[in-house]
Amino acid sequence: MDPFLLSELDFIQSLQGGLGGLVSLFKGITFLGNEEFYLLIIPLLYWCVDAGLGLRIGVMLIFSNVFNSALKLAFHSPRPYWIDSTVRAFSSETSFGMPSGHAQNAASLWGLAAVKIRKTWFRWLAVLLILLIGLSRMVLGVHFPSDVLVGWGVGGLLLTAYLQLEKPVIRWFNGLNPSRQFTVALASSLVILLSGFLVLLGVSRWSLPPEWGQTALLAAPQDPINPLTLAPFFTVGGTWLGFLTGLILMLRSGGLMNVTGSPLQLSGRFLIGIAGVLVLYAGLGALFPREPEMVGYGFRFLRYSLIGFWISAAAPFLFLRLNLARRI
């Protein structure tokens, strides 16, 4: 085994030996980078706190996940517990390891929030969370230190690019007529899917070492690994199409929803809206077939399109109809 890889494994084992008693705490910290957490926090921001910030965080999450999914396939590197049975898998993942999606999203999303909120205390909180989320992935045995460092680096680059491109892209998009905006939404969603096919084609001659799967199953028998998949691209492509289509409809029909309101209105929005998210996420997830593979991808794309559309438009339209909100 590569000496550098051995040193990283030693580091992880040292972390688990010293911090293993805090596994529950680190599972809680790592949840702050999970898909389920973002399905809660982004709607909360968009519906009840700051619509502009919610939109920006949502867009950043979508494109961070596109790059992360593509890079994972391109690097096709293992996770620690896939190659060393002495590493304890306090959590488990089915995708490749590098770069860490949790670390990348933490750097890009919490970094963007810190830039937009501009409060000193929040910026220190964001830095602390970025560091702790990365640390949690190593303590839980699902990432090497290099995975986390690369994740932070990619997240920082995406944040820099976003801050440079945000204003000119918004000006360009707002200058398009509605039909062209919808065309852009569909075309960009298809580009996301195409990028997945191209990257997977690029590693088609590479075979997953059988010992990775065997070692991973010893540590986490409930989660057999399946890293050579297009599922993340259909997830993100569908979410993007639904989210952007809904946003276009909201803007063209009178503007975004005003997030202010009484405590009863705010709580009503969040509870009704999140109930809809859960029905689409968990309900349709259990109902829609996953096999055969391409059929499963199609239903995944549809499910996440509905989730994105519900968050950006369907739920706000419902809130307006129920007098739980008003236009800006």
> pLDDT, tens digit, for every residue of 65-86?
999 999 999 999 999 999 998 9
CB-count burial class (<10 Å; 0-12, 13-18, 19+) for 218: exposed
Q: Which amino acid is at 173?
A: F
Q: Determine the pLDDT at residue 7.
A: 87
What's the average model confidence in pLDDT over 148-164? 97
Which pLDDT score is estimated for 239?
97
Predicted confidence at residue 224, as pLDDT, reads: 86
Tokens of 151: 């994740």
pLDDT at 118: 86
Q: Domain residues for 185?
A: 3-327
Which of 255, 245, 109, 111 is closest to 178 using CA atoms?
245
- What is the pLDDT at residue 113? 95
Q: What is the rounded CA–CA span in Å between residue 188 and residue 117? A: 29
User: pLDDT-derived band of residue 5, with 50, 70 and 90 as boundaries?
Assistant: confident
Determine the pLDDT at residue 223: 82
Q: What is the pLDDT of residue 291?
A: 77
Please give the structure tokens belonging to residue 307.
């989730």
Instruction: Please state the rounded mean pLDDT for residues 154-182.
Output: 95
Q: How confident is the model at residue 136 (pLDDT cuts 50, 70, 90)?
A: very high
Residue 261, Ramachandran bin (φ over 0: left; ψ between -120 and 50: alpha; else beta): left
Residue with tokens 């898909």: 35
Alpha-carbon distance of 283 to 274, in angstroms, equals 13
pLDDT at 1: 63
**In 10 A of CB 209, how many CB atoms?**
12
pTM: 0.93
- 188: CB partners within 8 A, 6+ apart: 240, 244
Evaluate if residue 302 carries a pLDDT over 70.
yes
Domain count for the chain, please give it.
1
Q: What CA–CA distance (Å, rounded) separates 82 from 216?
A: 4
Calpha distance 309→311 (Å, rounded): 5
DSSP string, 260-325: ---HHHHHHHHHHHHHHHHIIIIIHHHHS---SHHHHHHHHHHHHHHHHHIIIIIHHHHHHHTTS-
Does residue 170 surpass a pLDDT of 90?
yes
Q: Express each pLDDT in 205-245 by its tens digit.
A: 999 999 999 999 988 888 888 899 999 999 999 999 999 99
